Every structure is written in structure tokens, then in C-alpha cells.
Structure 1
Amino acid sequence: MTFTGRPIRIAGASGSASDRRHAIAEFARHYPTDPVDVIIADFMSEFNMATFAGRRMDQAGNAMPAYDLSFLEALEPALGDIAKHGIKVAVNAGVCDTKGLFDVVSRMVQAKGLDLKVAYVTGDEVLPAIQNALSGGQSDFRNIYTGEKLADWDFEPIYAQCYLGGLGIAAALAEGADIVLCGRVSDASPVIGAAYWYHGWQRSDLDKLANAFVAGHLIECSNYVCGGNYTGFKSLEHGGDGWANIGYPIAEISAEGDVVITKQAHSTGGAVTVDTCTSQLLYEIQGPWYYNSDVTAIIDGIHFEQRGVNRVAVRGVRSGPPPPTTKVGITARGGFQAEAWWFLTGLDIEDKARMLEAQIRRLLAPSAEQFTSLKFDLLGSNLPDAKTQNRATVPLRIVAQARDEEALGPRKFVKPISDNIMQGYPGATFHLDMRQGFPRAVFEYYVTLLPQSSVQHQVHLPWKPTARTQVIDISPPPQTKTYPSRQPSQAATHTDQAVDLAKDFGPTIRGPLGWIVHGRSGDKGADANCGLWVRHRDEYLWLRGLLSIDTAHKLLGDDALQQPQLAIERFELPGLQAVHFLFRNLLDRGVGVTTTVDFLGKNVAEYLRSRHVDLPVRFLNRGKL
């Protein structure tokens, strides 16, 4: 079935399991004045893929469900309006138990007496396929971040989940599904599937699919494209409805694949602008090739066009066939982690921290040989001549990991740490809430590739009359392309585009990069990506001349020195006036087991923006960000 006459309108109602819960109901309730055809919502991340895998393996012990409970909170109040207005819903809230989520949602729909057809998608659980291919010598499943062979990994896999494309969702909608529940489809796949279904596209329509893919990336993180996590956030405080209640986005996609990003029409804050779209576009990409199981979007020529208030058109996306493989996340039990916090105030912060570390390392020594990690980190610095005691206080975080829970038990970790108080530094004070000092399970996460032909992608339609019609197999893409294992990278801007930073931009003043440069960063396993962009063309000539790989390494400071495996890749996005970096192996071992506080890599950009460089005065005269 195809619809003609207008673009499909797809609402992005959640960007994570930690998002607010009201958006699905809001979109459904406001349908008469602000109609949407499909509501999509993203609930998955590498963190809950790993932790929910542990739940799935522990279900016999009455552990928490391995599907996302927050989705049920968001869906329940919306069901009546979804049925009334014929709105479709597609989500990846199944996480590691999509069938379990289907059972709960089906009972919820039945209890309300609604005529809604619920479908679910499977095929993302692939540990048997990995194990069979490994034992048969078909692949050594190298880690895409480290190059390590799976057989050499120090951990025992308990679960593996691959990223599915959007055509299972499209098939479910074509068969009459009202709600489509998925596990690990890629974040953008619900948008791809919805547009494919609505417009009756074919798998060969790669340009259309690539544009839908980018639209999906722009709205899958909900508020991000409307001003959330945006370095121009100060401009949102007093404009329109302010920043207290940032709204949710809508992607309008035409039959030809043209994309416009907008937002809720009813009273919400935030904004959709070229810069908010640039911010979200630069989030989590790895280079100019952006992969999905259905298509590869080539984004080195992408640019945005402001078409009106809260309306931005996407331009310049090109396409390529999808890769023959799909990404797989393999989970293993990684052991346990515990942490404790101390507060240091006023003078001699560094000296106080050294004293505390020496004392506590001595107290922990009898158990420390069982630790796999023990770190002491000062977080921030105090203000000189601070006006309040709190502003003169700096926390010190102590974090330890061990394979065995007993090695981090109270008498071996948190009790020795608190016992140090009487011999401590001047003003020695620890955090009274010791719950983080008790061991919690952490999960290792290994990322590799699996041929799409090895995936059994299926759609389940339980309302169909016979077993033969209740399951649809989704075949792998008929046309694929094998891409190089590394994205294109250039150490500095091309020679014919180079500028003389000392002469071409006039007088300079030393100050934070972020006075004139926007930034956005995120995590992918142990890697962090970071996009930096500016508002004006002459500023971009300066930015790309400044930001070489060598400069980026220097801006990372001691963090770069502490990561011997760090490698940096760089490419330019002229249409966005941006330079993008991929910092390989910057984030410890990934979100599920990292010992860093920036476990999502979102503050890498904020750190770089705080670093001081020589800034042209004429740019500052335009106003600081």
C-alpha cells in the first residue's frame, strides 16, 4: 500500500531509556491539530544491550525484565488515541526480550478493548550463528575497534546481538500492523521502515533510503535535534517557549526522499535550526560513510537549509549499497565495580589528593592484587577566592574493578576507605552515601561484524490465521558493497585550501575554543567521535586550518598521553562548516565497563571547547557562543 499526495510525517518520541515518558501520548493526543503518521522511539544503547543481556541470562532467577519498562509507561496512556487516529508505532524497546515485550503489550491492548494489531521482529539474537561460524573456521570475528580475535578475548560470551535494518518494520506495517516491536534494529531503522512502507519504495531506491536513513539519525535521539545537548543552548532560554520543556521532532519525508525536519506544533521549547541539525548529524558518525543494513549514506556533501521557523531541509546526501555485514555486539560478564567519593576544599587540592591516594593505596594493599583496575581521579578544580564553600570544593573519585565480587566486598574496599578519615588531609570528608561502594556487576562488550546472510530476520504477525502466514522472512540485501575497514582520513586540510593562521585572520587573543566553535561528541564502544563547527564561512577557513590531527592530539592533553592505543582520524564536512574527529580507544573499554565518568563520550567536545587557542578578534566581535 502506498500513500500519495503528501510526505509521511514521522515523530521521534524517545531517544533512550532515560528519556521523558510523555511524548508518545502527546503526539497521539494532538493528532487533530498536528497529525503524524508514525511514532518511532529509540530505547536502546550499548549500555542497556550489555546490561539487559545479563538480565536475559538471569531470568530464571526472577531478575528484572530484559525489555524496556519505560516504554510501557509511555505507551499505555497513548493507546486510546493511537487506535482512534490510526497512528502507527515502531520501537526498539524489546532490547533483549522482544517476545516478552510483545506478550505484555498484547495484554495491555486487550485489557483496553482496543483493535490494535501488534507485530514483533526477531533475528537480532545471533550468538549461535557466531559460535557456529567460529567453530567452522568461517571467521575469526575480529573486534572492529582493537583488531583482537574473538578466540583471544579474555571473557566468555553470554549473548550476541546484531543490528537489523528497517525492512522488517516495513513488512509488518504493510501487513496491517499498528504497533511494531523490535529488539536491536539500528536507531534509524524505524524511520527507514516507515518511509519504505508508506511510499512503496524498492530496495534499489538507494538515494531515497539514504535520505530516510539520515532523517532517522536526526530524529532518533528525540530532543537533541530540537536543542537538547546543543552548545548554542544559551540562545534557547528566552526564545519562543524557552528551554524548560524542549520539544520533540518530526521528520517529513516525501516519496522522492526529500527530508524536512520540524518539531511539535503545540507549546514546547527548543528550536529546529541549521545548527541544531548540524549538532545531531555530527553525533555518533564515524566518517563520511554512514552504514545501515539497508543502505550506506555518504555524507561528505551534506548541508542544511533553513526553510522557515523550526523547519530545516536536508540536502546533499548521496548513497551507496549497504555493506554485506552488520555490526554485532557480544556481551560477557566482566566482573564487578565499586567506587567511593571524597571532598577536598580550599587550598592545596593536588597535595591533599596525593596524600589521600597514598594512604588509601596502603590500606587497600592486602586486597589490591585481586583488583583489575584501581583509579584515583580529581574531578574539576575549585574557584580561587570562591564566594561559597561548595564552589571551593572538588570531589575525588576512587573506582576499582575485580573479576570476583568478593574482592570488592565491604571489608576489602569501602570499609578501608572510610577508615582513613582520622589520618586524612585537612578537612577530610567522604560521601556518607556508601551504596556505590558495594560491588555491582559490569559487562564487557565486544564489537565485530557478521554477514547479513547469516541473520534470520523475521517478522511475526500473530493475528494472521495460519502458522504459514504468521511469519515473514526478510532476505538480506541483494546488492552490497565491501568498504575499506577504515574511513577516509586526512591529517590536515588540503594544501590548496591551507591558510596562514598567523597572518590571514588579523589580531588574536588567547581564549577557549568554544567562544566561537560549536561541538558535539558521543561514544561508539571504546571510540569517541567529535564534530566541531562554526557559523560563518571565514571562520570555517580558520577552523579547518587550525584543527589538524596533531592539534587535536595536543588539545586532548594528558588524556591522550594516558591512552597509548589512541589513534585519531579526521575528515571535513564543508557543507556543515565542520571538522570531524574519531578518537579511537579514548573511552577506556566502552560504556558498560568504563572507569571514566564521561561514560557516553558526550563531554569530549565540551572539554575540547574549553581548551585555549589563539582566537581571531574579529570573530569574537560577532559575539561569543
Structure 2
Amino acid sequence: MPQTERSIRIAGCSGAATDRRHAMAMLAANHSNDPIDVIMGDWMSEANMTARAALKTGNGGDAYEPTFIESLEPALKHLARHRIKVAVNAGASDTALLHKVVTDMVSKQGLDLKVAYVSGDEVFPAVQKALREGRSKFENICTGESLEDWGFKPIYAQAYIGGLGIAAALSKGADIVVCGRVSDASPVIGAACWWHGWQRDQLHELANAFVAGHLIECSNYVCGGNFTGFKSLEFKGWHDIGYPIAEIASSGQVVITKNKGSGGEVSTQTCSSQLLYEIQGPWYFNSDVTAILTDLWFEQLGTDRVALRGVKADLPPSTTKVGITALGGYQAEVHWFLTGLDIHAKARMMESQVRRLLRPYSHRFTKLEFTINGSAAVNASDQNAATVDFRIFAQAPTADDLNPSKFLRPCIDPIMEGYPGATPHLDLRLGFPKPIQEYYVTLLPQADVQHRVHLWDGRSVEIPPPPSSKVYPAQQPSEPEARNPRSTDVGGTVKGPLGWIVHARSGDKGSNCNVGFWVRHKDEWEWLRSLLSVETVKRLLADEYKGKKIDRFELPNMHAVHFLLHDHLDRGVSCSSSYDFLGKNVAEYLRSKHVDLPVKYLNRGKL
């Protein structure tokens, strides 16, 4: 560990495989003006987890995440010059191969950088063994079904592992640590644990580092990306939003900031937005520690400097999350454009014609949906504003079930008998079958995970499971409505979109969708918590409500109410039929719904 008592500065350079790829080199090159000790990055999602798993098991090509190489290569010389460490999860389903690729790249550039990798996330044999021995039914944590009832044949399983393997690699002298499916925040936990020499029983420190990791693992999000207050950033450089830096002290105290001179902002509001993203309840689990979020809050220390407060800690769970992949068949879609008047009647006409032509083949489909997406403006000022998308979407077990003669042609052949103005999209590539993967979320005992660090010289280090852990209830704490609400005289009200006053943030975890709402001012909190009950959210969802369970909990110090919509997102990003396959627009939909808004709060200015 570095011989210093100062805080470690960890920068987040990537939140997805599709993130901008200049950040690692930019952050490393600017070290003299804006020093950082470690760069972390998250390249994994449920979409590329399943896609890379299919590549790995089908011999379809390299199964690591190649966009990481695009980020790393131009940064290497700067990393070596300034001795900046790197810890990432870009190994996807072939971390050993990524380790070789990075090692060769370092050697080719003649640099003195030691590269290690972490294994143990690939757990399909452990799942199979537990099934054979009858030790688990592997219930789906989103749907409750057992694995034997899933209806798909698993081909791969990947566990979310903690950050202590990363800490061990860094303590042995590694400069670059590549991992597979460590959890998104694990690189931050590992880096902070290495820097400060924390032990496994320092739960308070680990929990704070865990939440810090959650805040910065999505790169620009905590600096103003995907933020419902985005309009306030127009003159703060929203064309090029910056990257986050977590400063973590030996006590566990966390300050979030961003790289100097960059756009966007780091505020209590942007931190609240990212905190509420993808959590599943007040208990936030990692293989190393459980963070208790109920009393959490943020303090603005200065411009673009926010302190994390109120995190509580508990033992890690005895299990860890596992994503199981199966081949899910194939899907295809066709789009028509409907314009002007009688949109719904036009859609009914086209649907009846297409269904008739699909009738000889559609019995083989596992899903067939016709949806109108968008709405035509009344008395529109241009034709595009009066046009909506009519989508025909299908899934089936085999590619032949959706070959062009059985799906694409029947979907476009009614053009001459169609509705007035019948016009299909001319890019027909989506109408050809493409393979999809199914994703199943369950739990595996941490003792079944073979967590190991592989060093550059052939040595390896075993990382045992936590010596102390806890079995948590399957159901997170939930209150369907505000408990003991205080009477609040809000004065006059007016109907308007919830989002005029209320921030929100949503995201996906498997087929579950989380959505958190918060207000800017303390005196608005009682109104918000009293308004947003489970029943109110069901009413606001309207036709989007799936009839499934909704959990609710409050974060009073953040003036926030969080909801978990169980099994709301079809079957997850890898095979979803929804346009909102990441669940990010559930919040935007709900903010657009009309409620009674207090006029005195509106007078403070709309979001």
C-alpha cells in the first residue's frame, strides 16, 4: 500500500461498453494538473453478459469486451509515466484472454506495467453441481420461479463477486487488474481496501467505499448525465459532461467530485440521482459488505464537491447474485408509419391484415406484439410531428420460424390493401431473425465461488469467502404508504406533471425496474411521501402496470421515496420486447403524469 495517510482518489472512466472511450487516456494524461491514483471502469451489463456468454459457449469469437482495449491502448504510456493503477470488469466471459491481450499490448509498447486478472465469476459448474445434489432450486429473485421451470436450457452462469481479489492483486504490485463479472462497485472497494490496508471486518469503511463505487461506476451519471435537472446544465458544459472522482479517506469518509475543467456538475441533486439508480431496497448487497441506505444523505461542501453521509454497514450476505444465460431463440420486427387522423383505426386495420397473413406461421411464435409508439400532434406544424411508429414484433424458437417468407413478407405485403398513407420503414434488416439470449437471476452461496487472483509471474492467490456473513430475508423492508404522515397545509393546487416539482430516476435489474423520486426542498418532503404510495404509483402507471408486486421504502434524509416494480420489464434487456429495455424511461413516463401540485412549490420554479 502507498505510504500515505491521504485519501485515495479513484476516477470512473466508463459506465458501459458503449461509453465514450477517450476518458481513461484523458484522465491519465492530465495527472499533473488533476492527480488520481486509480482509474476504474465498468464495461459490463446484462446485455453484454449474455451476448459474451453465447460467444464463449458457441466458439463465436473473443468473449471479452473489446471496447476496453480502445480505451486502454492510448492511455498506457500515461498510466506508466504517472504510476496510475487500473481496475476494470471488462473481462466479460474471457478474462484470461483479455489478460493475455493486455499483457502483449504492454510488452509491445515496452512499458513496465504488471498485469493481473481475477477469476471465479464463471460458476456454471457450481450451479450444475448444486442442482445434481439437490442443494438449491435456484429461485429467480425477480419472478420467484425455480430454474427447472424456466423453460430454457442454461449454457452459462456468472457470479457477481466482490473487490477483495482486486485489493490482493494491487497489494502484490499489480498496475492493471482485469476482472470478469465483479460487481460494478467492486473495483472501488478493492482499490480503497488496498490503499488504506483495511481488514475484512472494517464494515463501516467497506460500506462507504461500496456506496462510493455505486456513485462513480456509471461515469458521467453522477456529474449530470441522465439527470432530470438537465436543463440547468445547458450553460455548464452539457456538451461534454465530466467524469467522477471519489476521494476516500482511511476512515471511510467519501467526497465525490469530478475532473477539473469538465462540464456538468457534482451536486447533492446529481448524487441523489445516481444513488437511487438500480438499487433494490434499503439493503444494498455486495459480496464484501452490506450497505444500509435508509439514513443516507449528501452534503454540498463546495462547487462540485459533495460528501457522502449516513451510510450504515452490516455483514455481507452468505450468497451472491448469479446471472444464468440460455439461448432464447430469435426475434424480428417490422415498422410502419401512421400519420395524422385515425391512428388507432389505421393500426387496427394493418394488424388485422398482417395477422391473417401470419396465420400459417404464427403458431410457432413465442411472442407476437403490435404496438403504437408515440402520438400524433393535433394540428401539427410539420408532418413528422403528426407521424407515429407502428411496430410488429415477434420471437420464435428457431431462425426458420422467422425466415423472411414467414415473417417479413407477411408484414409488408399488405402495402397495397393497407390504411391511407400506408408506408413501411424501408430499412428491412430488423425484419430478419437475429439470435437472442435469455437471462435468469438467482443466488449462489459465496462458499461455492472459487475467487482467485492470477499474477503476471504465474503465481495465484486464493480469496476465501467472508469469514462472517448473514442470511437476509428475501423480502426487503417495504411500506406501501407513508407511515404517520404529518398534516401539511400545501395551500392551493393545480393539475400538472409530477416532474414540474419532482426529480426521478429509474433503471433495470433483470426484469425488475426500480424508480426513485426526490424533491429539492425539505418542506416538500411530507407532501411527496404522502402522495407517493404504492397505490398512487399503480394509478400513475395506468396501462403500464403489470399486476405484479411493488415495494416501497423511504430515504427521509434525501427527501426520497423509492419503488421496486417486480418483473416489470418483460424478461430483461437481452430479450425484451419493450422500447424501454433498460427501464430508464419509466421515471420519465411517471414524471409526465398529472397530479395535484402545490402552487407554492411551483412558484419556486419548475424543473
When normalised by structure 2's length, the TM-score is 0.99
Matched, 1:521 2:515: no
1:343-492 alignment runs, 5 A limit: 343-463=337-457, 470-492=459-481
Deviations 1:305-362 (A, max 9, x none): 0000000000000000000000000000010010111111111111111111111111
Question: CA–CA distance in 1 between the matches of 2:591 and 2:147?
Answer: 37
Cα RMSD, aligned residues only: 0.8
CA contact (8 A) 1:291 1:323 kept: yes
Question: CA–CA distance in 2 between the matches of 1:18 and 1:567?
Answer: 32
SS in 1 for 2:21: coil
Question: CA–CA distance in 1 between the matches of 2:520 and 2:81?
Answer: 44
SS in 1 for 2:366: strand
CA contact (8 A) 1:302 1:317 kept: yes
1:238 aligned partner: 235
Deviations 1:203-236 (A, max 9, x none): 0100000000000000000000000000000000
Matched, 1:277 2:275: no
Matched, 1:49 2:49: yes
Q: Give the partner amino acid of 1:102.
A: H
Question: CA–CA distance in 2 between the matches of 1:507 and 1:249?
Answer: 41
Question: CA–CA distance in 1 between the matches of 2:238 and 2:61?
Answer: 34
Matched, 1:335 2:302: no
Question: CA–CA distance in 1 between the matches of 2:239 and 2:527?
Answer: 35
Question: CA–CA distance in 1 between the matches of 2:561 and 2:177?
Answer: 38
Following superposition, the deviation at residue 264 of structure 1 comes to 0.4
Matched, 1:612 2:594: yes
CA contact (8 A) 1:333 1:442 kept: yes
Question: CA–CA distance in 1 between the matches of 2:543 and 2:3?
Answer: 56
Question: CA–CA distance in 2 between the matches of 1:15 and 1:433?
Answer: 30
Question: CA–CA distance in 2 between the matches of 1:80 and 1:521?
Answer: 38
Q: Give the partner amino acid of 2:54.
A: G
Runs of 4+ in 1 over 4 A off after TM superposition: none
1:102 aligned partner: 99
SS in 1 for 2:467: coil
1:200 aligned partner: 197
SS in 1 for 2:361: helix
CA contact (8 A) 1:258 1:314 kept: yes
Question: CA–CA distance in 1 between the matches of 2:461 and 2:135?
Answer: 27
Question: CA–CA distance in 1 between the matches of 2:522 and 2:307?
Answer: 20
Question: CA–CA distance in 1 between the matches of 2:434 and 2:393?
Answer: 12
SS in 1 for 2:11: strand
Matched, 1:591 2:573: yes
SS in 1 for 2:528: helix
SS in 1 for 2:416: helix
Q: Give the partner amino acid of 1:478.
A: P
Q: Give the partner amino acid of 2:146.
A: K
CA contact (8 A) 1:124 1:457 kept: yes
Question: CA–CA distance in 2 between the matches of 1:308 and 1:5?
Answer: 23
Comparing 145-154 with 449-458, greater Cα deviation is found at 145-154
Question: CA–CA distance in 2 between the matches of 1:603 and 1:498?
Answer: 32
Deviations 1:486-514 (A, max 9, x none): 1000011012x2436xxx21111111000
Same amino acid, percent of matched pairs: 62
Matched, 1:119 2:130: no
1:247-286 alignment runs, 5 A limit: 247-265=242-260, 267-286=261-280
1:177 aligned partner: 174
Question: CA–CA distance in 2 between the matches of 1:25 and 1:425?
Answer: 54
CA contact (8 A) 1:3 1:199 kept: no
SS in 1 for 2:360: helix
Deviations 1:63-103 (A, max 9, x none): 24211111000000000010010000000000000011111
Question: CA–CA distance in 1 between the matches of 2:343 and 2:387?
Answer: 9
2:213 aligned partner: 216
Question: CA–CA distance in 1 between the matches of 2:496 and 2:305?
Answer: 34
1:561-600 alignment runs, 5 A limit: 563-564=546-547, 566-600=548-582
1:557 aligned partner: 542
Question: CA–CA distance in 1 between the matches of 2:253 and 2:568?
Answer: 36
Question: CA–CA distance in 2 between the matches of 1:143 and 1:42?
Answer: 25
SS in 2 for 1:366: coil
CA contact (8 A) 1:307 1:313 kept: yes
Question: CA–CA distance in 1 between the matches of 2:327 and 2:358?
Answer: 24
CA contact (8 A) 1:2 1:200 kept: no
Following superposition, the deviation at residue 4 of structure 1 comes to 2.1
Question: CA–CA distance in 2 between the matches of 1:362 and 1:612?
Answer: 39
Q: Which of 149, 158, 161 is equivalent to 2:158?
A: 161
Q: Which of 108, 122, 125 is equivalent to 1:128?
A: 125
Following superposition, the deviation at residue 2 of structure 1 comes to 4.6
Q: Give the partner amino acid of 1:138.
A: R
When normalised by structure 1's length, the TM-score is 0.96
